[in-house]
Chains A and B, each alone.
Chain A
Amino acid sequence: MRRFITVIGVLVILSLTWTAFIKPEKESKQRNETELVTDNKNPDLVQQDTDDEVAFRGLRKFWEYSGFRNATKGHLIMITVGLLFIFLAIKYDYEPLLLIPIGTGIIIGNIPFYQEGAVNLQLGIYETGSVLNYLYFGVLKGVYPPLIFLGLGAMTDFSSLLSNPRLMILGAAAQIGIFLTFLGALMLGFAPPEAGAIGIIGGADGPTAIFLSSRLANGVNILPDGETVRNLIGPIAIAAYSYMALVPVIQPPIMRLLTSKRERKIRMKPPRAVSKTEKIMFPVIGLLLTAFISPSSLPLLGMLFFGNILKESGVTKRLAETARTSMVDIVTILLGLTVGASTQADVFLTPDSLLIFILGAISFMLATAGGLLFAKVMNLFLRGENRINPLVGAAGVSAVPDSARVVQNEGLRADPTNHLLMHAMTPNVSGVIGSAVAAGILLSFLG
Chain B
Amino acid sequence: MNDLLFLINTFAGIDRQATIIVIIGYMIVFLALVLLYLVFRYVMPVFFKISMYRRAAREGRHLDDSEKQVLTGEVNAAIATALYLYFDEIHDFESNVITIRKVSKSYSPWNSKLYNMRNLER
How far, in whole Å, are A446 and B21 apart by their CA atoms in the complex?
9
Within 6-44 of B, Cβ neighbours of A (below 8 Å) are at 12-15, 17-19, 21-22, 24-26, 28-37, 39-41, 44
Q: Is the CB of B40 within 8 A of A282?
A: yes
Interface residues of A, count at CB 8 A: 44
Which B residues touch A14, using CB under 8 A?
A: none
Query: What 9 A-B pairs come out closest when comparing CB atoms?
Result: A172-B33, A165-B40, A441-B25, A179-B22, A172-B30, A165-B37, A293-B32, A437-B32, A168-B37
Besides A172-B33, A172-B34, A187-B13, 16 other CB < 8 A contacts? A163-B73, A165-B36, A165-B40, A169-B30, A175-B26, A182-B21, A183-B22, A278-B40, A282-B40, A289-B32, A293-B32, A434-B29, A437-B29, A437-B32, A441-B25, A442-B21
Query: Which of the candidate stretches A17-25, A211-219, A268-276, A325-333 sits at the interface with the other chain?
Result: A268-276
Main secondary structure of the interface of B (DSSP, over half): helix
Q: Are B37 and A438 in contact (CB under 8 A)?
A: no
**Distance, CA A182 to CA B19, complexed state (A):** 10
Chain A residue nearest to B35 in the complex (CB): A289
Q: Which residues from A are CB-within-8-Å of B13?
A: 187
Partner of B33, one of A171, A272, A273: A171
Are B72's CB and A175's CB within 8 A?
no
Q: When A169-B30, A293-B28 are in contact, do A183 and B37 touch as well, CB less than 8 Å? A: no
A281 at the interface (CB under 8 A from B): yes
Question: Quick check: is A277 within 8 A (CB to CB) of the other chain?
Answer: yes
Residues of A within 8 A of B15 (CB): 186
CB interface residues, B 34-90, toward A, < 8 Å: 34-37, 39-41, 44, 48, 70-74, 76
- In A178-223, the 8 Å CB interface with B consists of 179-180, 182-183, 186-187, 192, 195
Asked if B22 and A182 sit within 8 Å, CB to CB, the answer is: yes
- Indicate the member of B31, B37, B48 with the most A CB atoms within 10 Å: B37
A138 in the interface (beta carbon within 8 A):
no
Report the Cα distance A159→B12, complex, angstroms: 43
Q: How far is the CB of A69 from chain B (nearest CB, A)?
A: 47
A329 CB, min distance to chain B CBs, angstroms: 30
**Cα(A39)–Cα(B112), bound, Å:** 74
